[in-house]
Amino acid sequence: MRDDQLLRYSRHILLDAIGIEGQQRLLAAHALVIGAGGLGSPVGLYLGSAGVGRITVVDDDRVDTTNLQRQIAHRMDRVGTPKAESLAAAIAALNPEVVVQPLVRRADAALLAELVPQADVVIDCSDNFRTRHAVNAACVQHRRPLVSGAAIGFDAQIAVFDARRADAPCYACLFAPDAGHEDVACATMGVFAPLVGIVGSTQAAEALKLLAGIGEPLAGRLLMLDALAMRFDEIRVARTDDCPVCRLSSPT
């Protein structure tokens, strides 16, 4: 590491769990962020500030005035700009050494099949079940750890699904693709502004732990937050034998 990097990341390096070796792993890592909105904003900013070497951001939406209440990477002067490009600009302003690739595209199966194998970790910051299931399927197929988050109103969920572990559940073990879950849009239900910051920051923390190889990941556990009561609850999530996604993709 260069002297300027040793200075910039000194507060990470001082942590025994990370040190120089852990920080070097972050500098060499590639994170794929799906969604550049309320969750993607803190995820992208914290991954960038922590020195993750490459970040790919996928989002096909554009910045709207209503986003600015909670999507902290965007600004008034970028209203109308693609969110992926706006988040990339925010990361670059924070840490110009990070290589950020913004993709103004929908995260469909074809794109995910191309991008997921290139990433060391995937962070799902999308806002609909269709995308979440597509991301999960790609992560299971290509054995990439997935950090999942969701927030609406005052309620949120965070989990890690690590297909590299034979006993680990995937997203579909918890939310079956054919269960008919309905998407709830924040445009109709609303969302508490700091909630997405809490969830996105937690997702970033889990992603950094996975990349640095430290701590205990939130795998096999679902963390639920009630922000009105500011209460966290946790439930264990087991792999299901009849899961249509991961039962046919057991690690060898």
Catalytic residue set: 186
Of residues 109, 101, 102, 175, the one with CA closest to residue 142: 109
Q: Which residues contact 231 (CB under 8 A, 6 or more apart)?
A: 225
Q: Which residues contact 121 (CB under 8 A, 6 or more apart)?
A: 29, 31, 32, 144, 145, 146, 147, 207, 210, 211
| C-alpha span between 1 and 23 (Å, rounded) | 9
**Site of tokens 């701590």:** 215
> What is the token pair recorded at 110?
């074809």
